[in-house]
Chains A and B, each alone.
Chain A
């Protein structure tokens, strides 16, 4: 019995903690609030937090919308599926998800649609599913931009190594786009592709060992933002010898660009992942479907020339503006 009381206390503490971040207990809203679920690939990837900021801002703007942000603490497709199924069982009013493994989640997304719950994907799509819309970058096109930028920095000649995380559909398409763009430059040779398994620490390790293995490497292309999520991962890279092109522009990435460690960053619409998903779900619930299910968010190509202007815009968005 004592343990039962203790458990109640423990859960009570957590409930209190949750209240601190916005849960209201016992208050019944006058009108039915729409509950939308926002599911990231993983909580330990910093960019997804910005999607939540954007989603909460849009929910406040629309009014009568509650966004529940919940995801696996790290890239665990089974846990992501469990969370998705939980939201279906709860009969939320809409689900916006960045899909870790498209094949694994397709049937579950279809089940949500069959249950009358609209699903939109953001950042990473499940193209074979019956999801209503996808908001995010055209990954193949983004990969091509990365390849072209690398070729420009190397004047069409040199060696390139890739950093990716195997299994995610969006990353594979970026990789394909970059490789196809580089194939037009016969003087460029791809020496290696490293699978960092969505782990920033492993990424830093691969950069260090890769730099030792290929001391005259022309450029690194990272199709995800892992190397620029920390100021230290690029320490072994000598920018005079090796250029660095990376996806993602969230801090501290612009500082690395200003310090000359990175030459090109490709920024996604991080806040838009959340705000556009909420907007789409709200419209779908109100009977308005998007004309085109694929909504290309475009990318921001950030270099030393425009980094200050980009940072100014970032601060406004981060503040919820």
Chain B
């Protein structure tokens, strides 16, 4: 029980709860109106849009924990929507096959990043920056500035076993967060990811397959960004090259706010998803405040810095004890 209260994820949950409570109070409606923030529909909305970042943030967290960084998730998301849309609309493939093609392309994108970093020896920042341009450019070449309209061929107001398609993203995000939280904390591979990020040389001398661990981290990052892209293509119904432009920074920020240290060796998959939800709540609530629109980025920036600074102070205090 004591371990739970000291877990990194607990403090992230506390921030999320505080944030929700704050906006519940701040957006309290005038007489005669329903609450506009605390509704089932609004919480679904927060989950639905947070899942685009949250699914990819799981991969970003794994890469960051392993001591790397991946700047390509936004471009991989866009490319995946395009590949899925191309296969589904242009080639007439079934949806599952089109989605599989999109996910395969995402895994391949991660493999290319891993090869450049592990085999060629490029710094992760440079390699993934280059790869980001390549995948975004490829998406534009495929679409020629047009888009693939999946929505025209998907059922309107689609429900799967009685559940609205809007829930697809949140369900996938929570499911994947659970799986990867267990894999990173309970399995040897996960311990290897932390060890490589904490001290690569020590991990090497301990017999940990450093290159394989790093490769797996980048492949998973590409794959999970692709899953996010597939969800986006299905739920939003479009495959378009300019989707998710600049989202890589929001995805990395989600992982960092969730406890991932850019120095490597520390972080949490569940924390990354909670980080995405913290930003999701902010994006949703700020829409409801007149005049807040120009403060969006400032507030997000302040939140990132405040949370990370407090985390550092907490860590130093724990180290002294």
| Interface residues of A, Cβ cutoff 8 Å to B | 1-4, 6-15, 17-18, 20-23, 25, 28-29, 32-33, 43, 66-71, 73-74, 76-78, 81-83, 85-87, 89-91, 103-104, 107, 166-167, 195, 197
> Shortest Cβ distance from B281 into chain A, in angstroms?
10
Q: Are B307 and A6 in contact (CB under 8 A)?
A: yes
Question: Which residues of chain A are near B36, meaning CB under 8 Å?
Answer: 89-91
Q: Are B314 and A3 in contact (CB under 8 A)?
A: yes
A15–B26 touching, CB < 8 Å: yes
Evaluate contact between B294 and A43: CB separation under 8 angstroms: yes
> Which of B17, B151, B242, B246 gathers the greatest number of chain A CB atoms within 10 Å?
B242
What number of B residues sit within 8 Å (CB to CB) of A? 62
Q: How far is the CA of A166 from the CA of B299 in the complex (A)?
A: 32
Contact of A14 among B232, B240, B298, B307 (CB under 8 A): B298
Sample of 9 more A-B contacts, CB < 8 Å, known A4-B11, A77-B240:
A2-B314, A3-B310, A18-B289, A22-B290, A22-B291, A68-B290, A70-B286, A70-B292, A91-B34
B236 interface contact, C-beta 8 A? yes
Give the residues in chain B near A167, CB-CB below 8 Å.
145, 147, 242
State the CA gap A28–B11 with chains docked (Å): 35
B interface residues with partner A (beta carbon < 8 Å): 11, 14-15, 17-19, 22-23, 26, 30-34, 36-37, 39, 41-42, 45, 49, 52, 145, 147, 149, 151, 156, 232, 236-238, 240, 242-246, 283-284, 286-299, 302-303, 306-307, 309-311, 313-314
Q: Are A104 and B307 in contact, CB atoms less than 8 angstroms apart? A: no
Can you name 11 A-B residue pairings with CB atoms under 8 Å?
A3-B306, A7-B15, A7-B18, A8-B22, A14-B292, A23-B290, A23-B291, A86-B288, A89-B39, A91-B36, A167-B147
Q: Residues of A contacting B297 with CB < 8 Å? A: 73
Chain A contacts for B303, CB-based, 8 A: 7, 10-11
Q: List 8 A-B pairs, minimum CB-CB distance, nearest first.
A: A21-B291, A90-B36, A3-B310, A166-B145, A89-B42, A86-B287, A4-B18, A70-B293
Beta-carbon contact of B311 and A18 below 8 Å: no
CB–CB A29/B310 < 8 A: no
Q: Given known contacts A3-B14, A86-B45, is B291 in contact with A11 (CB within 8 Å)?
A: no
Cα A7 to Cα B231 in complex, Å, equals 31
Closest to B299 in A: A14
List, in ascending order, chain A residues with CB within 8 A of B237's CB.
104, 107
Task: Judge whether B243 and A28 touch: CB under 8 Å.
Answer: no
Determine which residue in B11, B18, B149 has the highest number of CB atoms from chain A within 10 A of its CB, and name it: B18
Once the chains are docked, how many angstroms separate the CA of A86 from the CA of B287?
Answer: 7
Contacts of A166 in B (CB 8 A): 145
- Chain B residues within 8 Å of A68, by CB: 287-290
B14: chain A residues at CB < 8 Å are 1, 3-4
Point out the residues of chain A lying under 8 angstroms from B17, CB to CB: 4
